[in-house]
Amino acid sequence: MTDEERRERQRAYQRRYRAHQAGNHELCDPKRRCEVVERAEIAEAEEAGELAHGARGQALWDEWAEQVAGNVLAGIYLEEACRALDRIDLLRRNGEPAAMTEARHQATAMKSMLAEVRKELGIPLPKPSAKPAGEEQASAVPAEPSEGGAEVVDMASGIAARRAKASAG
């Protein structure tokens, strides 16, 4: 690339940047959608009363829509979960650390909303497996090595055993 080509490329970038900053998004690169344009499109669709779901939000809606048809509250939670999923996609495209943090918060909110949908529909939530009340934790002593030589150790028990040994001796 020659010096003249570099200068012209820089001038074109500056024109796009200045136009973007001034609120004119006609010059924004169509391959890398401007988040201002996307937010405006989503806001317009929401004001018009249309669901403005992106591809993944629409897929989530399509998967659950029949099940929530008669339940207004579940429908509201599902709609908000779809919007949260679309926000996550928008934020991840941004790629900045603050946007990624917000995307994680949106993912947590979406997970909660989907849990509420399941609750409203009477679909049981999976419960984490817990040990029955009478069982003791695994021994702090490593298990016998298997054929591959790997040992399985319960880390919590191992730490507790080391602490007890240190305080005793």
Q: Where are the domains of the chain?
A: 52-121, 138-169
pLDDT of residue 150: 40
Between CA 61 and CA 68 the distance in angstroms is 10
Contacts for 133-138: CB closer than 8 Å, 24+ residues apart: none
The pLDDT of residue 112 is 92
- Is 0.75 topped by the overall pTM? no
**Angle (CA) 36 40 43, round 5°:** 140
pLDDT per residue rounded down to tens, the chain (169 residues): 899 999 998 998 888 888 888 878 777 766 666 766 666 666 666 666 555 568 888 889 889 989 998 888 898 899 889 988 988 888 888 777 878 888 899 999 999 999 999 999 998 866 665 555 555 544 444 444 444 444 444 566 667 777 788 877 6
Burial of 114 (0-12, 13-18, 19+ CB in 10 A): buried
| Burial readout 70-109 (b: 16 or more C-beta within 10 A, e: otherwise) | eeeebbebbbbbbbbbbbbbbbeeeeeeeeeebbeebbee
